[in-house]
Amino acid sequence: MKRENMSVTGFPVPTARITRARAAAFQAAGVTLPLQPSAKQDQKRALRENSKRVALDENNSSAPVAGDLQHKRRAVLKEVTNLCCENLHTNCINAAKLQSKNSKKAKRGPLKKDSKVVPSNPVPEVQKDVTALSAEKIEKSEKAEPQEVACSTEVKGHFPMQISMGSMTIRSVGCDPQANIKICRWPPQLSSPLKKDKYNLCENLGSSSCLGITDIDSDDKDPQMCSLYAADIYSNLRVVELVRRPSCNFMETLQRDITQSMRGILVDWLVEVAEEYKLVQDTLYLAVYFIDRFLSANYMSRQRLQLLGITCMLIASKYEEICAPRVEEFCFITDNTYTKGEVLQMESQVLNYLGFQLSAPTAKTFLRRFLRAAQASYKVPSLELEFLANYLSELTLIEYTFLKFLPSLIAASAVFLARWILDQSCHPWNPTLEHYTTYKASDLKVTVLALQDLHTNTNSCPLNAVREKYKQQKFKYVATVTSPNPHEMLF
């Protein structure tokens, strides 16, 4: 160790950083540390810094913009305007990438002989590249979307700019002199997404105005109406009604011991059972659906047909009701013809056949939606229309021949005929019903005529449970209303 680094006490004087342990040793020995380094240390430090500066200057001697690249560059500010450009974010990112590449090339040191020298001010070229890129993208978008209206304006100088488009005026300040601003806008009738959707809807329906179509899902205050999801729910139900559909000819192909009249008697009795236990209409519709589904693939004797009926009613009530009747009550209503064990065994067979898929769209399911669309044309909701449509739809449960019609078609035909019965002064079908039911008036002709014959009881059917039910005051006596025959011109 050199003498100049030794103190009087023999301990070496620190020339750089010292640890805490070494400082504690110096303090214990009574050595005072120098506050400033020696002159020789200052000379060494100065020489070291000068050598670093010389090397840095040599490396940056070939870069003409070294002074500008010492600090981190910011992205190019192209156009300061209040116009919203969808490519602005992308253009700024591309400009920043170009600048970062140029800065990296400048910092690498001397360039090769074959390489080109970076210009002293590369910012204008970056702006030109980004402007050309944005112009190409806008031209492509114009070609892809012919409905958009493009308006181009050249800006000459940093002065306030005013662009007029119809009833809208746009002002901007501080634009680039070389910038070419293009403004794309929808036509006036498509200025908002809601108007655009309604315009497309009118085109699909073949009408020029949207005045005939009422949005029945606009009221989203009631969460039970599921206004946000109603359209998707019913679109899914229209698919499910095709998949889980009972056979329409199981009486002719599979069943040999029971007949169509026996099925009608069973359903007519189940209507009375539902009235006795005050069950909702969905339970009745679902029970009849389970009966038809089971009879479509399973042979049934006439002695067990009533057992199948009460079992399907039990399953449907468990699915739809808040307080479903007990098994003993269904056994009691059959005058104890079947025991509790037989009912539970039949329940197991039905559930296994259905695969426990108990959710199925019925005519009542679609009737709620279609009645809401029908009530849109009334200033005050009509209870007679609702009760009469439900009455016509419930009459189809007894008739075996209506199995060939889809539940949605039956519901739409019931609304059509109910509107015609209550008011013959106007056409019973309108664009709103056509939109939400997806059925035209011509599609309903066969079903409406068959429903008209059922309503007037042209076949003199003796099963009157549904008729007696809707002759009550709480249903506005809709079963007593006479029905004029629909004209052929309606379809």
Single-letter amino acid, residue 137: K
Check residue 413 and give its pLDDT. Answer: 96
Cβ-in-10-Å burial (0-12, 13-18, 19+) of 389 comes to: buried
Cβ-in-10-Å burial (0-12, 13-18, 19+) of 400 comes to: buried
Which residues pair with residue 185 across a beta bridge?
A: 149
Residue 359 CA: distances (Å) to CA of 94, 313, 356, 418, 467: 55, 14, 9, 28, 28
Check residue 118 and give its pLDDT. Answer: 43
Q: Which residues contact 238 (CB under 8 A, 6 or more apart)?
A: 361, 408, 438
Q: Select the more confidently predicted residue: 193 or 327.
A: 327
pLDDT band at 177 (very low <50, low <70, confident <90, very high): very low
Round the CA-based radius of gyration of the chain to a whole number and report it. 43
Cβ-in-10-Å burial (0-12, 13-18, 19+) of 410 comes to: buried
Residue 260 CA: distances (Å) to CA of 19, 294, 403, 458: 104, 15, 12, 17
Q: Which residues contact 489 (CB under 8 A, 6 or more apart)?
A: none
Alpha carbon of residue 277 to chain centroid: 40
On the question of pLDDT at 406 being above 60, the answer is yes
Check residue 184 and give its pLDDT. Answer: 39
Check residue 228 and give its pLDDT. Answer: 85
- N-terminal to C-terminal alpha carbon distance within the chain: 116
Check residue 167 and give its pLDDT. Answer: 39
Q: Taking all residues of the chain, what is their mean pLDDT, rounded to a whole number?
A: 74
Closest C-alpha among 482, 478, 486 to residue 444: 486
On the question of pLDDT at 347 being above 80, the answer is yes
Alpha carbon distance 370, 366 (integer Å): 6
CATH 1.10.472.10 residue spans of the chain: 216-245+361-491, 247-359
If you search the block for the tokens 């300040």, which residue do you land on? 173
Check residue 389 and give its pLDDT. Answer: 96
On the question of pLDDT at 51 being above 90, the answer is no
Q: Which of 110-114, 183-187, 344-348, 456-460 has the highest mean pLDDT?
A: 344-348
pLDDT band at 226 (very low <50, low <70, confident <90, very high): confident
Alpha carbon distance 178, 125 (integer Å): 12
Alpha carbon distance 297, 294 (integer Å): 6
Check residue 428 and give its pLDDT. Answer: 93
On the question of pLDDT at 487 being above 70, the answer is yes
User: Is 409 within 8 Å of 439 (Cβ atoms)?
Assistant: yes
Check residue 130 and give its pLDDT. Answer: 46
Q: pLDDT tens-digit profile of 449-483? A: 999 999 998 778 889 999 999 999 999 999 999 88
Mean pLDDT of 109-134: 47
Q: Which residues contact 331 (CB under 8 A, 6 or more apart)?
A: 310, 338, 339, 340, 343
Mean pLDDT of 255-262: 94
Q: Select the more confidently predicted residue: 176 or 21.
A: 21
Which residues pair with residue 154 across a beta bridge?
A: 180
Q: Select the more confidently predicted residue: 319 or 19.
A: 319
Is the pTM for the entire model greater than 0.85?
Answer: no
CATH 1.10.472.10 given to domain 247-359: yes
pLDDT band at 139 (very low <50, low <70, confident <90, very high): low
If you search the block for the tokens 């009604």, which residue do you land on? 241
Closest C-alpha among 273, 274, 323, 314 to residue 290: 314
394, containing H or E segment: helix 383-395
Check residue 223 and give its pLDDT. Answer: 80
On the question of pLDDT at 136 being above 70, the answer is no
Tally of CB atoms within 10 A around 326: 12
CATH superfamily of 216-245+361-491: Cyclin-like (1.10.472.10)
Check residue 42 and give its pLDDT. Answer: 61
Q: Select the more confidently predicted residue: 453 or 54.
A: 453
101, containing H or E segment: helix 88-107
Q: Which residues contact 199 (CB under 8 A, 6 or more apart)?
A: 189, 190, 210
Alpha carbon distance 336, 333 (integer Å): 7
Check residue 430 and give its pLDDT. Answer: 92
If you search the block for the tokens 């008729």, which residue do you land on? 467
Residue 70: helix, strand or coil by DSSP? Answer: coil
**Two tokens, residue 157:** 């100088």
Q: Select the more confidently predicted residue: 15 or 244.
A: 244
**Two tokens, residue 39:** 């002159």
Check residue 415 and give its pLDDT. Answer: 96
**Per mean pLDDT, which range of 58-72, 219-233, 267-281, 334-348 is the poorest?**
58-72
Check residue 87 and give its pLDDT. Answer: 52
On the question of pLDDT at 422 being above 80, the answer is yes
Check residue 47 and give its pLDDT. Answer: 64
Q: pLDDT tens-digit profile of 262-318? A: 999 999 999 999 999 999 999 999 999 999 999 999 999 999 999 999 999 999 999
Alpha carbon distance 211, 296 (integer Å): 46
**Two tokens, residue 297:** 């693939």
Check residue 247 and give its pLDDT. Answer: 94
Alpha carbon distance 64, 118 (integer Å): 8
Check residue 113 and give its pLDDT. Answer: 43
If you search the block for the tokens 């199995």, which residue do you land on? 403
**Per mean pLDDT, which range of 1-10, 171-180, 463-472 is the poorest?**
171-180
Mean pLDDT of 188-214: 46
